[in-house]
Structure 1
């Protein structure tokens, strides 16, 4: 079987007191977790931001010298980051044979564009991004998108995996694939991706319908008098939806073990905490049909799943 090709958007461990930094240790741990599941080839890349506009051909002598110094610094920084990323991956337990050794200099005004271009040239199956760290980052065990991750989650042409801050991961690799399922085109694509991964890795597939209790998925100012009855009605509908999803998954992979579960509770946090999460879990979700075809584009519900999932999340394009 062809190894899974992983592009790791890597940054050095950021300043814990910084406003928008990332930690490379978490994403290295995730890649190591994948490497314990199946053969992979990982390419760590770091984008060096440009400080001069691209495509500027005419500069005076003083500017040319400054540009030259920047180019030399960018090359040195890129090499240092690649070496540090490689060391972090090895320290996390990734076999050296699974690490792509090509040292590519990426410097651009758009980190998102550079990452997508590099992923396409590498033939990546997915892009891995870490949680925002620092003062405005997420709590331990949860993901918060920084500016680059947020942009990728609205335009990437291939799956994006979000890694929670300081994730708790099984020593045995992926042990179950979960899929958020509501029986629409968005979740049909997620189901196909989740079923394919579960079959490839030889692990069970769990289909989950998440339902924040109440009349709305968000806090309300006035109580809905029939909320309990509506929640019970939705739970019955969710079980029917999951049964149809099970049939779809088993038609695609007849030997696949498929489980179903409904998670309900106050808010998205309560709904997601209502189900049991294994240390070896990865959650697969679909993109919104509001986005471009064959592109990742997260809607409000998916954004809530990313924020409250204790497991890494793979967002699949529609």
Structure 2
């Protein structure tokens, strides 16, 4: 692991040839403005460049032609105009300075697949991060993926930033980076650790390495509940601490001046384990993809999916790298 990375290795790098690019998916009056608020929060941390997109999915297989095409183009022009007005207003209300706006700050995409449209838009924008919000009716401080977000969580070629419902975010931006280890195999995939360490280094904020040990869950191999008094729980605690110690050593080799803390989160289920820690308004979590996913893609396993349902701070998920 080395901090000499490409400009796209983290969305928080300062001093590169271009500012990090954030692509935000947002629909006026729909689920909420959490994705916009998260982009504004990152803009308080780094000199980012923001583009906001909205997708319109149609059912017909081919684009309309002739007179219908002209009517449709006129309608799309009108929709783009209204959307651009809404985006400028919501960015201003969120406190995003115009210096962070892309020249084409608002764009409506139309096609037959929302997931494909967003993936292509991220490629066209050369985005470093794709920001999505939680689905409608999600409880405050929680994240639930909608259909399109779920698809992105299994195939996005770039990192995803997940904005929980009505997040409480620090006015100073990011003040601490957390790297989450959900199981012993997380050490086999170093993307989240490298990403989190680089982000903390660039922003000069502390790095917290957290191993989660939820009790009361069913052990897949033994088919019984893993309780806090179980010998398996004690063994996991030892493994988790060892895993974090090794991760800290790797980080300190490359970032000797970085402040690194280790914590073990244990509690009843994922909710209890997560709530056993103190979370700050300036926290962000770096989470890795499953190594079982596709080459150079985000792939969220079932464990991570359960974890996300109980997290109240923003999460960045990196695509896994396969060799």
Shift of residue 315 of structure 1?
A: 0.5
Match of 1:173 in 2: 173
Kindly provide the CA deviation profile for residues 62-120 of structure 1, in whole angstroms up to 9, marking residues without a partner as x: xx434433332223212322321221111101111101131544211111111111111
Conserved in 2, the CA contact under 8 Å of 1:27 and 1:163? Answer: yes
Kindly provide the CA deviation profile for residues 11-63 of structure 1, in whole angstroms up to 9, marking residues without a partner as x: 1122xxxxxxx21x21111111111111110111111222321367xx6xxxx
Shift of residue 194 of structure 1?
A: 0.6
- TM-score by length of structure 2 reads 0.87
Where do 1:79-228 residues align within 5 Å?
79-102=81-104, 103-133=106-136, 137-181=137-181, 182=184, 184=186, 187-214=189-216, 216=218, 227-228=229-230
**Unpaired stretches in structure 2, ≥5 consecutive residues:** 1-14
1:50 and 2:53 matched: no
Match of 2:35 in 1: 27
Give the root-mean-square deviation of aligned CA atoms. 2.2
Conserved in 1, the CA contact under 8 Å of 2:217 and 2:227? Answer: no
Match of 1:41 in 2: 49
Shift of residue 250 of structure 1?
A: 1.2
Q: May I ask how many residue pairs the two structures share in their alignment?
A: 300
Change (3 A) 1:147 1:82: farther
Between 1:143-152 and 1:69-78, the stretch displaced more is: 69-78
Conserved in 2, the CA contact under 8 Å of 1:45 and 1:82? Answer: no
Partner Cα separation in structure 1 for residue 117 and residue 309 of structure 2: 25
Match of 1:308 among 307, 310, 314: 310
Conserved in 2, the CA contact under 8 Å of 1:180 and 1:187? Answer: no
Partner Cα separation in structure 1 for residue 315 and residue 217 of structure 2: 27
- TM-score by length of structure 1 reads 0.88
Partner Cα separation in structure 2 for residue 153 and residue 85 of structure 1: 25
Kindly provide the CA deviation profile for residues 182-223 of structure 1, in whole angstroms up to 9, marking residues without a partner as x: 4635641110011111111111111100111135269x9965
Conserved in 2, the CA contact under 8 Å of 1:78 and 1:106? Answer: no
Conserved in 2, the CA contact under 8 Å of 1:296 and 1:315? Answer: yes
Partner Cα separation in structure 2 for residue 240 and residue 234 of structure 1: 10
**Unpaired stretches in structure 1, ≥5 consecutive residues:** 15-21
